[in-house]
Structure 1
Amino acid sequence: MLDICLLGTGGTMPLPGRWLTSMIASYKGRMTLMDCGEGTQITLKMLGWGFKAIETICFTHYHADHVAGLPGMLLAIGNAGRTEPLTIMGPPGVFEVVRGLTVIAPYLPYDIKMTEVSIQRQTTRVNEGFHLHTLPVQHTVPCLAYCIEIERGRKFNPQQAQALAVPVPLWKTLQKGEEVVHEGETVTPDMVLGPPRRGIKVCYCTDTRPVEPLVSFIEGADLFICEGMYGEDGFLEKAEEHGHMLFSEAASLAQRGGVKELWLTHYSPSLTEPEQYIGNARVVFPNSFLGEERMTKHLAFQN
Structure 2
Amino acid sequence: MQLTILGCYAATPRTFTNPTSQVLEINNRLFLIDCGEGTQVQLRKNKVKFSAINHIFISHLHGDHFYGLIGLISTFNLLSRNNPLTVYGPVGIKEIIKLQLKLSNSWPQYDLQFVELSSNQSEVIFEDDKVLVKTIPLKHRVYTNGFLFQEKTKERKLNIDKVQEYEVEKCYYQNIKNGKDITLEDGRIIANAELTFDPPSPKSYAFCSDTMYNESIIPIINEVDVLYHETTFLDSEEHLAEKTMHSTAKEAARIAKQANVKQLVLGHYSTRYDSIELFKQEAQTVFENVLLADDGAEFQF
Q: Which range moves more in the overlay, 96-105 or 79-88? A: 96-105
The residue that corresponds to 2:256 in the other structure is 254
How many angstroms apart in 1 are the aligned matches of 2:78 and 2:172?
43
1:206 aligns with 2:205: no
Say whether the 8 Å CA contact 1:52–1:78 is kept in structure 2.
Answer: no
1:95 is aligned with what amino acid? K
Query: What 5-or-longer segments of structure 2 have no aligned partner?
Result: 182-188
Aligned positions of 1:58-97 closer than 5 A: 58-97=57-96
Cα offsets for 1:229-267 (capped at 9, x unmatched): 002x12112211211000110111111112222111111
Q: For residue 207 of structure 2, what is the amino acid of its counterpart?
A: Y
Per the alignment, residue 109 of structure 2 pairs with: 109
Which 10-residue stretch deviates more, 152-161 or 52-61?
A: 152-161
> Is contact 1:54–1:77 with CA below 8 Å preserved after alignment?
no
Assess, with a 3 A threshold, how the Cα gap between structure 1 residues 75 and 173 changes in structure 2: closer, same or farther: farther
User: 1-side partners of 2:179 and 2:70: how far apart?
Assistant: 41
Pair 1:227–1:83, CA change in 2 (3 A): same
Q: Give the aligned partner of residue 171 of structure 2.
A: 169
Structure 1 CA distance, aligned partners of 2:148 and 2:196? 27
* Superposed displacement of residue 125, structure 1: 3.4
Q: Distance in 2 between matches of 1:215 and 1:269?
A: 28
SS of alignment partner, residue 51 of structure 2 = coil
Query: Given the superposition, is the C-alpha separation of residues 101 and 60 from structure 1 closer, same or farther in structure 2, using an over 3 Å criterion?
Result: farther
Q: Which runs of 5+ in 1 are unaligned?
A: 180-186
Q: CA–CA distance in 2 between the matches of 1:113 and 1:193? A: 41
Correspondence for 2:283 among 266, 269, 281: 281
How far did residue 278 of structure 1 move?
A: 2.6
Query: 1:55·1:87 contact (CA, 8 Å) conserved in 2?
Result: yes
How far apart, in 2, do the equivalents of 1:197 and 1:250 lie? 28
Residue 221 of structure 1 aligns to a residue in which SS?
A: coil
CA RMSD of aligned residues (A): 3.1
SS in 2 for 1:52: helix
> What percent identity do the matched residue pairs reach?
26
C-alpha distance 273-105 of structure 1, shift in aligned 2 (>3 A): farther
Q: CA deviation at 1:6?
A: 1.2
Q: 1:279: how far off?
A: 1.4
Match of 1:50 in 2: 49
Give how far 1:225 is off.
Answer: 1.1
Q: Does the CA contact (< 8 Å) of 2:34 and 2:56 recur in 1?
A: yes
Answer whether contact 1:30 1:55 (CA < 8 A) is retained. no
Which moved further from structure 2: 18-27 or 121-130?
121-130
SS at match of 1:19: coil
| Distance in 2 between residues matched to 1:250 and 1:244, nearest whole Å | 10
Tell me by how many angstroms 1:217 deviates: 2.0
The residue number in structure 2 matching 1:153 is: 154
Count of residue pairs the alignment pairs up: 294
Task: Write the letter of the residue equivalent to 2:18.
Answer: W
The amino acid across from 1:12 in the alignment is A
Secondary structure, counterpart of 2:76 in structure 1: helix
Greater Cα radius of gyration, structure 1 or 2:
2
Amino acid at match of 2:8: T
Output the CA distance in 1 between the equivalents of 2:259 and 2:97.
34
User: Against the structure 1 CA distance between its residues 244 and 175, is the aligned structure 2 distance closer, same or farther, given a 3 Å change threshold?
Assistant: same
Instruction: Kindly provide the amino acid, as one letter, of the partner of residue 252 in structure 2.
Output: A
Change (3 A) 1:82 1:3: farther
- Name which of 219, 239, 257 aligns with 2:241: 239
Is 1:68–1:101's contact at 8 Å kept on the other side of the alignment? Answer: no
Partner of 1:38: 37
Mean alpha-carbon deviation: is it higher for 246-255 or for 25-34?
Answer: 25-34
Deviations 1:63-101 (A, max 9, x none): 111111011111233344430111100133332233234
Separation in 2, partners of 1:28, 1:156 = 16
The range that moved more, 11-20 or 268-277, is 268-277
